Each structure stands twice: as structure tokens, then as C-alpha cells.
Amino acid sequence: MNTVKSVRELRAAIAQARADGKQIGFVPTMGNLHAGHAALVEKAAQRADFVVASIFVNPLQFGPHEDLDKYPRSLAADQKKLIEAGCQLLFNPEVAEMYPHGMQGQTIVSVPDVSQGLCGGSRPGHFDGVATVVTKLFNMVQPDLAVFGQKDFQQLAVIRALVRDLNIPVQIIGEPTVRAEDGLALSSRNGYLSAEQRAAAPALYRSLEQIAQALRGGERDVAGLLDTARQQQIAAGFRPDYLELREANSLRPASAQDRQLVILAAAFIGNTRLIDNLALELDAIH
């Protein structure tokens, strides 16, 4: 695997792969890779001949009081994992390479509707930062396909919308969340958890499973179910940020007719904010 730091080297390596008749698969990341990222790279390697990954901790998507400075950086370990998963080219730019004119005057890509509420409500500007950097990366790499994790469910919806609205010729593939044996969704931020917090953390997904189980069993008091789940999270040591039932494709609040649903949650345990979701298909809610 070749690691490049400049857009010029990136484009040259991809031009060579294209000249060799290869289809390009792309996995953008912020590094500190785990088995969830490996699954994205493996999916790209199944679907494309030449896999490009990026590692870039994008300052534009972090709020002023978020964890940009302490976001874990582990390049050597990440490179090893990428090679094992089938990546051929790593793009690892500095901030000045991605934003050579600074971030102040940067053109911003802002996706309406699906960016609203949920993480977009709790982290103002976050999805503008994500949409902007992903658009830039797509223009740099020009992949045939790109793979994103369904754990960031709203992010995936934002990226699908921007690709559709801006006619970017890339196929977006959503890959299921990889979980630890106890159900906790793998996340780079799990590394912030103390042993005690890590032991409590699976309660977040369990609370979503209980809502899903009740809905599948015919319970339709959505507000009551969400409230009970919130109490379960609090009892486990979480401070809930949001917990909502939404229509899975549009991400608008679920209505009685909707069958494709997603339960989305964000909650703090100590200072660490974890997110998770559970998609389900139902008979109509009456």
C-alpha cells in the first residue's frame, strides 16, 4: 500500500490505476481504525479493483468545544489494518493540503432536511463540515463507489443526498454496523471510555432493541417507549442527548403510515458522546 500526502500524488496514483483499467473504490475515514473500518475496506475491495482510503481528521466538522485536539491519531497501526483489509492507496493529507486557503473562506456544502435535528441539532455545523470534506474528497479521488458505515446513519443520509443533488457520479454503499460481542457499536470514541463506562455502554443499544422489540410486538405508544428507553439509559449511567423514531429514508419524524423506521440515539457517558441506531421494518403504526 502506497501512502501519499498530496492531492497531486493522489491523482497521479489513481490515474495510473484507471489507465490499468481498474474500478476505484473509496473509504474515507478519520483514522484510529477498528474492525468496523476494516469491514468498509473489505466491502470496497469486493466491489472494486483498486481501493483508496483516506485518513483525515477534518477540523471543519468539529465544534469549538469538541474533541478535535484529543481525537486519537494512530497512523502506523492504521496502515497495517488497511493493508490487511485490502487497501492499495492511502491518502493522508495535512490540514493545509485540504484547506490551502484556510477554512474561513472555504466554500461550504450544506445539505438541507436530512441534516436537520438529531446530530445536526446537537452539533451545529457538523454536517456542513462532513458534506464539504466528503465533496472535496470525492472530487480528488473520483471513485466509482464509496463505502460508509450505517452506524453514522444520518451522515450516510446526508452523503446520499449530496451525491444525488450535486450529480456526483459515485455509487454509495452503506455497510452494517460492526458490534462488540456485548452489542456495543464499534467506534473510535469507545477508546475514551473507562473500564466502568465500557461495561455500562452496551445499555445504549439494548435500549434501542427494547423499543424495536415492543414495536415489532405491536406496541404503538411511541412516546411511552422512548421515555422508558431514556430512563433505562439514565439508569445505566448515560445522559441522553436525543432518542427519536424516524422514517428511515427521509429521516423525518415517523408517522403512522411509515413502515421503514429507524431508532436513533446519542447519549453521553462521562464526557464521551456515543451514537447508535437500529433500523426496522414494520406493519404500519396505527
Catalytic residues: 37
Stretch in the footprint of ligand PAF (CB under 6 A) among 24-32, 84-92, 102-110, 223-231:
24-32
Stretch in the footprint of ligand PAF (CB under 6 A) among 26-34, 78-86, 113-121, 175-183:
26-34
User: Contacts with ligand PAF in 205-264 (CB under 6 A)?
Assistant: none
- Rounded to the nearest angstrom, the gap between the alpha carbon of residue 199 and the centroid of all alpha carbons in its chain is 23
* DSSP code for 185: B
Relative to beta strand 145-149, strand 89-91 is unpaired
**Half-sphere CA count of 194, side-chain side, radius 13 A:** 6
Residue with cell 475491495: 45
Cell triple for residue 173? 454503499
Nearer to ligand PAF by Cβ, of 158 and 225: the residue is 158
Q: How many residues bind ligand PAF (CB under 6 A)?
A: 10
Burial class of 20 by CB neighbour count within 10 A (0 to 12, 13 to 18, 19+)? exposed
Nearer to ligand PAF by Cβ, of 130 and 145: the residue is 130
Instruction: Find all residues with CB under 8 Å of 238, minimum gap 6, and list them.
Output: 200, 203, 204, 267, 268, 269
Q: How far is the CB of 156 from ligand PAF (least distance, A)?
A: 9
Q: Please report whether residue 79 would count as binding ligand PAF according to CB under 6 A.
A: no
Q: How far is the CB of 94 from ligand PAF (least distance, A)?
A: 15
Q: Please report whether residue 130 would count as binding ligand PAF according to CB under 6 A.
A: yes
Show the binding pattern over residues 39-78: x = contacts ligand PAF (CB under 6 A), - = does not.
-------------------x--x-----------------
**Half-sphere CA count of 8, side-chain side, radius 13 A:** 1
Stretch in the footprint of ligand PAF (CB under 6 A) among 102-110, 126-134, 175-183, 267-275:
126-134
Residue with cell 436513533: 264
Q: Figure out which of the listed residues 41, 109, 133, 208 binds ligand PAF, where binding follows CB under 6 A.
A: 133
Nearer to ligand PAF by Cβ, of 24 and 30: the residue is 30
Closest by alpha carbon to 14, among 28, 30, 29, 2?
2
Coil vs helix vs strand at 252: coil
User: Contacts with ligand PAF in 136-155 (CB under 6 A)?
Assistant: 152, 155
- Work out whether the CA dihedral 119, 120, 122, 123 comes out positive or negative: positive
Distance between CA atoms of 54 and 24, rounded to whole angstroms?
13
Q: Please report whether residue 134 would count as binding ligand PAF according to CB under 6 A.
A: yes
Q: Please report whether residue 30 would count as binding ligand PAF according to CB under 6 A.
A: yes
Instruction: Find all residues with CB under 8 Å of 202, minimum gap 6, and list them.
Output: 180, 182, 183, 184
Nearer to ligand PAF by Cβ, of 258 and 276: the residue is 276
Nearer to ligand PAF by Cβ, of 30 and 114: the residue is 30
Question: What residue type is 67 in one-letter code?
Answer: D
- Rounded to the nearest angstrom, the gap between the alpha carbon of residue 262 and the centroid of all alpha carbons in its chain is 15
Q: How far is the CB of 260 from ligand PAF (least distance, A)?
A: 23
Stretch in the footprint of ligand PAF (CB under 6 A) among 23-31, 161-169, 178-186, 249-257:
23-31
Footprint of ligand PAF on this chain (CB under 6 A)?
Answer: 28-30, 58, 61, 130, 133-134, 152, 155
